[in-house]
């Protein structure tokens, strides 16, 4: 009991900071999102304005479009990269690659935007080189496809770090037993490998989606706030670039929280269903 009491006391500072910097701001935003400065009353006016505005609906559509596709691409690339790293074993080269992946997972924001402008901007070195050979015609870094490319880039290291431990759940003798029974490699992965990795894949996808939906610094540095996505709109409303309306910004943030909560609930349901199906097959 003394050990548990001491551990509880040591956790109190962390609990205080969690309440002060996460729970309290979230509650403040949630409460004030129901106050309308224009009408000077409590209600759902801010939410009504957002859900009936083509401009804000476009922001949600673009945010979800870029986030979903970049998460899918990042997940697929991370799946193959994580499996390849796992097959390398625990040698020096594998440790170097994992350290490099861990370092690049923090390479985002303004430095990443600057790097992409140098490489693939209108006069970027790769852009000029590829166009010299008749490639990359029509590609624009500051378009929707360019944003998906940039988002996918910073999704890959995070996806590798999240998926890599999941491959420890695959035992080598399962693949050997499947091969002895006449199963091809494709059938092994379809019926054994991927179902076992399914919870990790789904969980990683949700984290990548949240990472992309909340990204702000990279897209702002690339487009100086001219690309209509939800984080940019929230920042514009809070900072007063166009009009100062933090309560509408809070409503946008709460809708983003609701979307992520809904996606997480669906993910938990699918993981639980997958687990129950696996138990029933045993």
The DSSP H or E segment spanning 36 is strand 35-36
Question: Residue 143: what pLDDT?
Answer: 86
Q: Are 164 and 98 in contact (CB under 8 A)?
A: yes
Using CA atoms, how far residue 78 sits from 86, 97, 240, in Å, is 12, 13, 39
Burial 62-94 (b: 16+ CB within 10 A, else e): bbbebbbbbbbbbbebbbebbbebbeeeeeeee
- The separation between CA 117 and the C-alpha centre of its own chain, rounded to angstroms, equals 22
Phi, psi of 141, deg, nearest 5:
-65, -30
pLDDT in tens, 40-58: 788 888 899 899 999 999 9
| Residue-wise pLDDT tens digits, 141-179 | 888 888 999 999 989 999 998 888 888 878 877 878 888
pLDDT for the residue numbered 282: 52
Show pLDDT as tens, one digit a residue, over the chain (282 residues). Answer: 577 888 888 888 899 999 998 899 999 999 998 988 777 788 888 899 899 999 999 999 999 999 999 999 999 999 999 888 888 877 788 888 888 888 887 777 888 888 888 888 888 888 888 887 877 777 788 888 889 999 999 899 999 988 888 888 788 778 788 888 887 888 888 888 888 888 889 889 999 998 899 888 888 888 887 888 999 999 888 887 667 888 888 999 999 999 988 888 888 887 787 666 656 555
At 1 the pLDDT is 59
Of residues 57, 256, 131, the one with CA closest to residue 140 = 131
d(CA 38, CA 45): 9
Q: Is 198 exposed, middle or buried (0-12, 13-18, 19+ CB in 10 A)?
A: middle
Residue 69 is predicted with a pLDDT of 94
The pLDDT, as a whole number, for residue 254 is: 92
On the CB side of 202, how many CA atoms lie within 13 Å of its CA? 19
């Amino acid at each position: 009991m003394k050990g548990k009491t001491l551990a509880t006391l040591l956790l109190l500072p962390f609990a205080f900071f969690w309440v002060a910097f996460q729970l309290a701001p979230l509650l403040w935003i949630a409460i004030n999102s129901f106050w309308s400065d224009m009408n000077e009353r409590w209600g759902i006016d801010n939410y009504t304005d957002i859900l009936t505005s083509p401009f804000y609906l476009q922001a949600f559509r673009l945010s979800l479009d870029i986030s979903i596709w970049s998460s899918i691409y990042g997940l697929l690339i991370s799946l193959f990269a994580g499996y390849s790293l796992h097959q390398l074993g625990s040698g020096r080269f594998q440790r170097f690659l994992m350290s490099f992946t861990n370092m690049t997972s923090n390479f985002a924001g303004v430095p990443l935007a600057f790097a992409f402008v140098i490489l693939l901007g209108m006069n970027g070195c790769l852009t000029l080189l590829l166009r010299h050979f008749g490639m990359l015609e029509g590609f624009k870094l500051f378009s929707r496809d360019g944003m998906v490319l940039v988002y996918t880039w910073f999704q890959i290291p995070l996806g590798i770090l999240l998926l890599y431990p999941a491959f420890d759940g695959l035992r080598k003798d399962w693949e050997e037993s499947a091969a002895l029974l006449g199963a091809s490699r494709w059938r092994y992965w379809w019926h054994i490998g991927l179902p076992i990795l399914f919870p990790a894949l789904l969980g990683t996808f949700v984290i990548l989606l949240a990472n992309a939906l909340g990204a702000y610094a990279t897209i702002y540095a690339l487009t100086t706030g001219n690309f209509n996505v939800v984080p940019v709109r929230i920042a514009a409303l809070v900072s007063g670039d166009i009009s100062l309306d933090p309560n509408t910004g809070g409503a946008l943030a709460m809708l983003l929280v609701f979307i992520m909560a809904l996606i997480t609930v669906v993910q938990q349901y699918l993981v639980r269903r997958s687990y129950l199906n696996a138990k029933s097959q045993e």
